[in-house]
């Protein structure tokens, strides 16, 4: 009964799927295969090697400080960093007093309430505050950026395929649109061609325009390439501040587990030692022995197997 009904149900689904397949195949084979414009012109991110790559990776604090400087001087006017607190900057090697100064002098202030009048006001940031957003809300952000919303950068390297490599490629990838780009895909007003961006035309104008845009405190030459690398590394840190803890703990845990598993295996073999997997050929199931055993069973009045 079950099988008959099941058979009919099965035939039903197979038939309907086949019907979809048929029409799908006709459509697929019939129409000409058009690759989208994005498919033709989009580029995969260029590779970027960072100190934090790999299972033993550690952050390069000097690079992170440079990247923070780029964020501060170039990106923070439009992009918030709302999940990072000023106090987290101590991870980059800044002293407590330096962090306090950075917070105190941050261009955007933190929203607060005027204690006397109760009106909305702002106050200077303290290290416990998160980085304040340059815009009070999304509407203001769009108004100031041609109706485009500059995304928060705290998690950007985890929120994009390609991670830090994508950010680096994007920042250094601005170029003139190739001649073969179809007219309807050319950047309109307020858009800029960038092949590393999924839709090819991005609303953000090229942020790194010239070498030496930022003068690094440690004296490194601030080429556009260098600045892009440094800010990509910095943004990797903002997305994964606990990366070093994670790698360190991971190594310890794995070493422990490997030793524990080896011991467990030895204990397992130990306990099973002798419980037969193989036995000598003249064993219990030689017909002679089987016969004896059956005879003994019968004698004892015990039912057979």
Partner 1 sequence: MSFPWAQEYQPKSGFMRWLDERLPLPRLVYGSVGGGYPVPRNLNYFWNFGVLAGIALTIQIVTGIILAMHFIPSGDHAFQSVEHIMRDVNQGWLLRYAHANGASFFFIVTYIHIFRGIYYGSYKAPRELVWMLGLVILLLMMATAFMGYVLPWGQMSFWGAKVITGLFGAIPLVGEPIQHWLLGGYAPDEATLNRFFSLHYLLPFVIAGVVILHIWALHIPGSSNPTGVEVKTPQDTLPFHPFYTAKDGFGLGIFLILLAFVVFFAPNYLGHADNYIPANPLSTPAHIVPEWYFWPFYAILRAFTVDFILPAKLWGVLAMFSAILLLFFLPWLDPSPVRSGSYRPRFRQFFWILVLDIFVLGYCGGRPPEEPFVMISQIATMYYFAHFLIILPILSRVERTLPLPNSIAESVLHGEAAEAAPADLSGARPAAAE
Partner 2 sequence: MRRRPLHHAPHGPPPLEIEGRNARAKCLLAKRRPRGYQARQAANRGAGRADARTALFALGAASGLLSPAFSGRGELCIRFEPLKDVMATVGHSDATSAAAPNDGLDRRDFINIAAVSFAGVGAAATLYPLINQMNPSADVLALASIEVDIAAIEPGQAIKTIFRKQPLFVRHLTPQEIAAANAVPVGELRDPQTLAERTKEGKQQWLITMGVCTHLGCVPLGASEGENRGQFGGYFCPCHGSHYDTAARVRKGPAPKNLEVPDYVFKSDTVVTVGEVA
Site for partner 2 in 121-150 (CB under 8 A): 126-128
Nearer to partner 2, 180 or 282 (CB): 282
Nearer to partner 1, 220 or 293 (CB): 293
By the rule CB under 8 A, 247 interacts with partner 1: yes
Any residues with CB less than 8 A from the CB of 51 and at least 6 apart, and which? 57, 58, 59, 60, 63, 233
Q: How far is the CB of 76 from partner 2 (least distance, A)?
A: 21
Letters for 32-71 (x = contact with partner 1 by CB under 8 A, - = none) are -----------------------x----------------
From candidates 278, 299, 300, 301, binder to partner 1 by CB under 8 A: 278
17 binds partner 1 (CB under 8 A): yes
Asked whether position 295 contacts partner 1 by CB under 8 A, the answer is: no
Nearer CB in complex with partner 1: 219/287: 287
Q: Which stretch binds partner 2 (CB under 8 A): 15-23, 74-82, 137-145, 297-305?
A: 297-305
**Contacts to partner 1 by CB under 8 A:** 2-3, 6-7, 9-11, 13-14, 16-21, 23-25, 28, 55, 83, 88, 151, 154-155, 158-161, 198, 239, 241-242, 245-247, 249-251, 253-254, 257-258, 260-261, 264-265, 267-268, 270-272, 275-279, 283-285, 287, 290-291, 305
């Amino acid at each position: 009964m079950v099988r008959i009904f099941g058979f009919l149900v099965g035939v039903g689904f197979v038939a309907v799927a086949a019907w979809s397949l048929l029409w799908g195949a006709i459509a697929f084979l019939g129409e000409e295969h058009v690759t989208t414009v994005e498919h033709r012109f989009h580029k995969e991110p260029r590779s970027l090697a960072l100190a934090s790559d790999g299972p033993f990776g550690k952050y390069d604090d000097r690079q992170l400080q440079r990247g923070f400087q780029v964020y501060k001087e170039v990106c923070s006017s439009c992009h918030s960093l709302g999940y990072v607190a000023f106090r987290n900057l101590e991870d980059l090697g800044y002293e407590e007093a330096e962090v306090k100064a950075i917070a105190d002098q941050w261009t955007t202030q933190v929203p607060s309430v005027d204690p006397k009048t109760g009106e909305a006001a702002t106050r200077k940031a303290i290290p416990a505050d998160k980085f304040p957003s340059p815009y009070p809300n999304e509407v203001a952000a769009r108004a100031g950026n041609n109706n485009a919303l500059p995304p928060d950068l705290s998690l950007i390297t985890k929120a994009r395929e390609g991670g830090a490599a994508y950010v680096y490629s994007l920042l250094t990838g601005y170029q003139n649109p190739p001649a073969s780009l179809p007219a309807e895909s050319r950047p309109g007003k307020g858009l800029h061609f960038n092949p590393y961006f999924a839709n090819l035309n991005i609303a953000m104008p090229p942020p790194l325009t010239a070498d030496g845009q930022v003068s690094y405190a440690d004296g490194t030459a601030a080429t556009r390439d260098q600045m892009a690398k440094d800010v990509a590394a910095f943004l990797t840190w903002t997305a994964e501040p606990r990366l070093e803890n994670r790698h360190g703990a991971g190594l310890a845990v794995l070493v422990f587990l490997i030793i524990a598993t080896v011991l467990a295996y030895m204990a397992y073999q130990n306990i099973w030692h002798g419980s037969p997997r193989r036995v000598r050929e003249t064993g219990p199931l030689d017909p002679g022995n089987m016969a004896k055993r059956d005879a003994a069973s019968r004698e004892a009045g015990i039912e057979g197997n």
